[in-house]
Amino acid sequence: VTLSEGARAGIGRELGMLDSLLSFGGLVLLRDSVEWEGRSLLKALVKKSALCGEQVHILGCEVSEEEFREGFDSDINNRLVYHDFFRDPLNWSKTEEALPGGPLGALRAICKRTDPGPITIALDSLSWLLLHLPCTTLCQALHAVSHQDSCPGDSFPVGKVSVLGLLHEELHGPGPVGALSSLAQTEVTLGGTKGQASAHILCRRPRQRPTDQTQWFSIFPDFSLDLQEGPSVESQPYSDPHIPPVDPTTHLTFNLHLSKKEREAKDSLILPFQFSSEKQQALLRPRPGQATSHIFYEPDAYDDLDQEDPDDDLDI
Amino acid sequence: MFVELNNLLNTTPDRAEQGKLTLLCDAKTDGSFLVHHFLSFYLKANCKVCFVALFQSFSHYNIVGQKLGVNLTVARERGQLVFLEGLKSSVDVFFQTQEEPHPLQFLREANAGNLKPLFEFVREALKPVDSGEARWTYPVLLVDDLSVLLSLGMGAVAVLDFIHYCRATVCWELKGNMVILVHDSGDVEDEENDILLNGVSHQSHLILRAEGLATGFCRDVHGQLRILWRRPSQPTAQRDQSLTYQYKIQDKSVSFFAKGMSPAVL
């Protein structure tokens, strides 16, 4: 059952930026850390894609298929195709079960499909792929996959491809992370404060300015998203509304207040180093009754008194 | 095992969770008391334990184990404990000829790519025996410690692959547990150790991090323990993920208390 475009847009409209991540296609990078894990959000986005009627492929390298499917109900699980690279990714057991071509081979096989519907590919995780494959190979494969719908050479018109990549930020240097970031249309960085998770979403659309938004969220046990306004009130420091704020100036041994007369006297006081026109006149006009001052000097024996003014030759 | 630590982790040998990977890491202090705790914990829980001990000798663990109430010699004779003594058997790689590859075969090879022999040793040690009766509850892999493998020349990705395969076999297939110790050198130049530590952190369900106090050595408070729960099977709306306690190690036990609440200070 595929939902109509209108229904899909309706689901997207009421849920904000976090939920419209997948509507544009391309690569969505989910950057998580040890403290704020991103697999729950990955599973929530996978569930949303599945509910929209898309086919979802999971390249599972880090957790078992059972663990990934846990929490999804059966109609969602029927839409998920899990490519298992968890049990034996490096073919140490030397059995015939190993999928040929490795994870990138599986990725290319998914994209050689013939049905034109939109698909979502979840990479769990991009970090595993980045540690085991050369960065350039991985970037080229991701570029080929996420730009497939714009490639003119295909004989079949293929639908939108969304790629969700889970990236553990601390495992890689700035070079590979920067390369993946430049390939991505959307980057979601997980963080939060105590008890409340947040997602910082950076969207880059062609011919538009990049937009960013921070969305607080939590995830229900059935992996549906609960968008929230901000960190919940209980997590803020405790403040009792019944205790009135204390005024610190009430019980002092010195006086901090001015009476009206004192305030007027203060405002009309001229500061000693403020140069006003009255002060200028007072300095220029000698006050009557002021005796001129003299300097009396007794020259010492070794003083050299020269009556000439050394500044005479200055032309001021 | 330390009863107070069991209380903090809300677990007992009888009702411990299965299929979990616990990471122990220490920074600026010695976190080996956590290894001794988990060794005695799982032996008391009647689990089959495979201990890859690369850091200390068998007698060291035995002496500490006896203070905590377990006898490693008896456990090894009974078949409950499979002990790989790294210090002793690394010499065997060079002086004994063996048909099948030795678990520490990478010491001999110039370009050792992976730790597959070590993984096969672990898998062989913990595989369920078809004897009809289930003697042991579930298998447990204990490693002390993983940073030694880096010093011996393995790359961080190779060690992560080893942990991945162990997790697939021990935690997922056999529904057992894993306890791994990794040192956090705090050295900004040691990128391989950082990749290893972060890589195992992302794979683990529980992280216990022992840190020295920021203010230095203290006689009454030996350090600080941070407990971080990750990857709950059900994402909950509000998760109380992380707790921090300070501790003091005594002869046969470790006492834990909230920050600043050491009995010596109160």
Q: What is the pLDDT of residues A221-244, one digit of tens each?
A: 888 888 887 665 444 444 455 566
Pick from B163, B233, B227: which is nearest to B18 by CA?
Answer: B233
Confidence of residue A14 (pLDDT cuts 50, 70, 90): very low
User: Which chain A positions have a beta carbon within 8 Å of B101's beta carbon?
Assistant: none
Q: What is the pLDDT of chain A when averaged over all its residues?
A: 80
If one compares A249 and A256, the residue with the highest pLDDT of the two is: A256
Rounded Cα gap, residues A314 and B20, in angstroms: 94
pLDDT number for residue A127: 95
Buried b (16+ CB within 10 A) or exposed e, A25-64: bbbbbbbbbbebbbbbbbbbbbbbbbebebbbbbbbbbbb
pLDDT number for residue B132: 57
> Which chain A residue has the Cα nearest residue B232?
A40
Q: Which of A92, A124, A167 best tests the B interface by mutation, with the highest count of B CBs <10 A?
A: A92
pLDDT number for residue A304: 75
If one compares A128 and A312, the residue with the highest pLDDT of the two is: A128
User: Which chain B positions have a beta carbon within 8 Å of A86's beta carbon?
Assistant: 168, 172
- Average confidence (pLDDT) over A150-157: 49
- How far B137 CA lies from chain A's nearest CA (Å)? 22
Is there a contact between B157 and A34 if contact means CB atoms under 8 Å apart?
no
- Per DSSP, A302 falls in state T
Q: By three-state DSSP, how is residue A186 classified?
A: strand
Q: Which residue positions in chain B have pLDDT lower than 50?
A: 237-238
Determine what percent of chain A is predicted with pLDDT higher than 90: 25
- Cα B151 → chain centroid: 18
Q: Does the structure show a pLDDT above 50 at A282?
A: yes
pLDDT number for residue A99: 65
Q: Helices (DSSP H) in chain A: which residue ranges? A: 5-13, 39-51, 65-69, 74-79, 102-111, 126-132, 135-146, 174-183, 260-268, 277-284
User: Which chain A positions have a beta carbon within 8 Å of B121's beta carbon?
Assistant: none
User: Which chain A positions have a beta carbon within 8 Å of B164's beta carbon?
Assistant: 89
Beta strands in chain B (DSSP E): 21-27, 48-53, 81-85, 139-144, 177-184, 206-211, 223-229, 242-249, 254-257
Full DSSP string of B53-113? E-SS-HHHHHHHHHHTT--HHHHHHHTSEEEEEHHHHHHHHHH---SSPPTTGGGT-TT--
pLDDT number for residue B66: 94
**Structure ipTM:** 0.87
pLDDT number for residue A144: 87
Nearest to A34 among B157, B161, B198 (CB): B198
- Ramachandran angles phi, psi of A111, nearest 5°: -80, -10
pLDDT number for residue A3: 47
Pick from A166, A212, A158: which is nearest to A27 by CA?
Answer: A166
pLDDT number for residue A9: 42
> Which chain B residue has the Cα nearest residue A227?
B237
Count of pairs with CB atoms under 8 A, one residue in A, one in B: 74
Nearest to A218 among B194, B234, B237 (CB): B237
CA distances from B35 to B5, B86, B103 (A): 12, 16, 21
Beta strands in chain A (DSSP E): 26-32, 55-60, 80-84, 119-124, 161-168, 186-193, 196-203, 211-219, 225-228
- Average confidence (pLDDT) over A209-225: 85
Q: Does the structure show a pLDDT above 80 at A189?
A: yes
Rounded Cα gap, residues A217 and A83, in angstroms: 29
If one compares A94 and B74, the residue with the highest pLDDT of the two is: B74
Is there a contact between A34 and B207 if contact means CB atoms under 8 Å apart?
yes
Confidence of residue A248 (pLDDT cuts 50, 70, 90): confident
Rounded Cα gap, residues B199 and A167, in angstroms: 11
pLDDT number for residue B236: 54
CA distances from A158 to A25, A27, A114, A119, A153 (A): 12, 16, 8, 10, 11
Pick from A201, A214, A188, A220: which is nearest to A47 by CA?
Answer: A220
Q: Which two tokens stand for residue A179?
A: 């390369």
Q: Does the structure show a pLDDT above 60 at A149?
A: no
- Cis before B26 (ω within 30): no
Is there a contact between A171 and B228 if contact means CB atoms under 8 Å apart?
no
Q: Model confidence over A290-310: pLDDT tens digits? A: 567 788 888 787 877 777 777
Q: Which two tokens stand for residue B188?
A: 């900004």
For residue A211, the one-letter residue type is: T
Which residues lie below 8 Å from residue A222, measured CB to CB, with a gap of 6+? A71, A72, A73
Chain A residues contacting B, CB < 8 Å?
A: 34-35, 37, 39-40, 62, 64, 66-67, 70-71, 86-90, 92, 127, 131-132, 168, 170-171, 173, 195-196, 218-221, 223, 226, 232
User: Which chain B positions have a beta carbon within 8 Å of A89's beta carbon?
Assistant: 161, 164
> Which chain B residue has the Cα nearest residue A223?
B235
Is there a contact between A37 and B238 if contact means CB atoms under 8 Å apart?
no
Least confident among A103-117, A276-290, B115-129: A276-290
Is there a contact between A88 and B237 if contact means CB atoms under 8 Å apart?
no
Strand partners, B247: B223, B256
User: How many CB atoms sit inside 10 A of residue B98's CB?
Assistant: 9
pLDDT number for residue A190: 92
Is there a contact between B242 and A35 if contact means CB atoms under 8 Å apart?
yes
For residue B252, the one-letter residue type is: K
